[in-house]
Amino acid sequence: MSEKQMLSRLRRNRQWFGLCLMLLTVLALFACVWKYTVIIRGQADEHNLTKSRLTQVTHTKTVLARRGEIVDADGNAIAETGNTYTVYAIIKHQYEGDKRKVVKDKVKTAQTLAKYLQMSETKILERLTPSSARTTQVEFGGAGSGLNLATKQSIQKEKLPGIHFSTTPARLYPNGIFASHEIGRTVATTTKTGLTKITGTMGLEKSFNSLLSGHNGQEQYQTDSFQYKIDGTTKIIKKAQDGGTVYTTINSNLQNYLESLMTTAQEKYQPTTMTATIMNAKTGAILATSQRPTYEPTTGSGLTNMWRSLLVQDVYEPGSVMKIMTLASAINSGNYNPNQYYKSGEVTVDGAKLYDWNKAGWGMIPLSQAFTRSSNVGMVKLEQTMGAKTWLSYLHKFGFGTKTNLHLPGESAGRIAYSSTPDQASTAFGQAISVTVAQMLRAMSAVADGGRMVEPRIVAKTVSGSGKETKYGKQELAKVVSADTATQVRQAMVKVVTDPNGTGGSYAIKGMDVGVKTGTAQISGSHGYLRGSQNYLHSVAAMVPSKNPNYIVYLTMKQPKITDGKSANDVLATIFKPLIKRAIALESNATSSVGTTMNTVGDFEGKNQNEVKNELQKAGFKVAVVGTGNEVVQQLPTANQQAMAGSRVILMTNGAMTMPSVSGWGKSDVLKLAQITGVKFKLKGEGYASAQTLKAGSLITGDGVTVTFTSK
């Protein structure tokens, strides 16, 4: 091959090679363009990239519904949702780069925290100085948890290095012990997704849990590759609906006052149980109700002593208060002859002997005296005259053996023991029959309100989160007895107070029309009735004013330790008399027949304490200040409550919690001081405060304070 031919061939080869290379380049470029186009359209390797991207950066979040409130008759919160706080101290950095402040001066920190926590300076310092060198963070047990906002803010103002707080959603009960078993309690649990769920476990919190809980919502949002939320991407999938509101019939002024009266009686006489309820006789609305033992609902302190509601869950033999219904049944059935005489003291029924509380009796007396003297034998005579069938029919008409409709969980129906003739006779004086407090209130309402029973109620209405209102108004039941019968029984109740032979003289109030029936019931044990002078259930039922009752008051006290020479009725009267006076004063909202003027206490939280003090004093109140700050952070009575002119209002400020002088204070005021400070006060003696173990101006700690009372 010539040189010329070789050159020509090489040239053609280069041309083919260049053409092939150009074609390959074009094909590669086309493939890239096609791939990019597919990606732009959201597809790659059979995957939808847009969908995959959204799956990676779209988050779904649960939006918690706020639990609704339980409020009093005036709309003031009894139970509400808020936050509690736990204080903790960082004493050593936990990791490299930890920029949080640590405790510098442990002694100063302990001194300062002791002002606000129910824990001594020494114990706080021990916590701040753990034995292990590896410990980086410490807490302060129960004393440092469950703190309210005011306490948290007060500690924060001290600017202590290394002191931090964690926040926990919680159910708050601003009144403390306040019909605790009826309002109820909740528990907070953490779900698998880390959410805090609050659920009612007792009382109205449980009965209306669904309404109070509301409905959680959901929202979606997107984040970038660094997990930062992208603005404008939030989308509400389902709107959260907050919980509804339960409106109770409770009057906070009466309820707080009743709690104070109950605490005083409980501490002095130590009954195993005690109940007190005041109900509107015409509408069945429960205005105040309390029991002992009780518990503090926010902390649960005392709950192990008694978890049951004595209003609806516990049953007992009521004793002689049942004679109200026995007398009414005998009169209404035409089986009452007041002038018929009978031999008192004891009676034999089918071989069983039944006795009067005065076993010697009063000789031959007319049936008109049986109710006044509280004669068991007289009531047996009435039951025998009526006949077992008629008497049982009236027991059923009065509602015994059936539940009330109080909307409280776990209510008992009670039981009527009627299998033997002696049992049938015993029910006439309140033995061999088990009842609840609520059943007794319902039965007595027939006598108080012209013969027609009303159902007791503690809920006035509910309003759901969507605004749906459900009313629980007066619920009239069957007419049990005639109006004339009811009038005659109430007149007999007045004689219990006014007649020299009556058992209720302790309940007399000058200038007030009061009718009562007292009761003393034996307590059933595992082997019959208990023996001993203290083993009785004492009770009293009152209707005020007796001519046309507005109020029914019912008190019970089991196995009190009375060593001061007073009778059980004297003790119960220390609750009944001031309570009914307060109720009448509130009813008139002015000067009542007992000369009491009521004023409304304003809302002073966040205001200057000197200005508040001047305002209260001008309104006729006494004022006590707890703390060294200038701003009011708490008050008792709470905002918008009514209080008697001349009574004491306690203000807590944002400064260090200091002890005021309590010289001359009554027990109810000292108990208010204990409530607002959260410190246990030990009360000794009777009368007015004359000495205190913690001097005025000293810091109040968790060690407690003893106050001695003497009569003036």
Q: Which residues are catalytic?
A: 320
Q: For residues 196 and 388, give the distance between their C-alpha atoms in angstroms, rounded to a whole number.
A: 57
Closest CA to 280 of 643, 548, 640: 548
Return the residue matching tokens 């209720």.
Answer: 504
φ, ψ dihedrals at 558, nearest 5°: -105, 125
Q: 69 and 79 in contact (C-beta within 8 Å)?
A: yes
CA distance 686 to 666: 9
Place of tokens 């069957």: 478
Other CB atoms within a 10 A radius of the CB of residue 637 amount to 21
Helix 667-677, helix 252-269: angle, nearest 10: 100
Q: Determine which helix (DSSP H) or strand (DSSP E) holds 682, and give its type and residue range.
A: strand 681-685
Closest Cα partner for 391 from 400, 581, 568, 342? 400
- Let me know if 353 is exposed, middle or buried by CB neighbors in 10 A (0-12, 13-18, 19+): exposed
Q: Name the 3-class secondary structure at 20.
A: helix
For residue 580, give the nearest of 560, 554, 605 by alpha carbon.
Answer: 554
Q: What is the dihedral of CA 32, 38, 40, 46, to 10 degrees?
A: -120
3-state secondary structure of 389: helix
Residue 387 φ/ψ, nearest 5 degrees: 95, 145
> 528-553 burial, b for 16+ CB within 10 Å, e for fewer?
eeeeeeeebbbbbbbbbbbeebbbbb
Whole-angstrom Cα distance, residue 120 to residue 44?
A: 68
CA-CA distance, 441 to 277, in Å (whole number)? 9
Length of the chain counted residue by residue? 712
Neighbours of 363 (CB within 10 A): 9
Please give the structure tokens belonging to residue 42: 């959201």
The string of DSSP letters for 472-538 reads ----EEEE-S-HHHHHHHHHHHHHHHHSTT-S-GGG--TT---EEEEEEEE-EETTEEPPSTT-EEE
Take residue 381 and report the two structure tokens written for it.
């005579």
522 beta partners: 536
- Residue 656 to residues 113, 115, 146, 147, 659, Cα–Cα distance (Å): 10, 6, 19, 15, 10
How far, rounded to the nearest angstrom, does the alpha carbon of residue 316 sit from its chain's CA centroid?
23
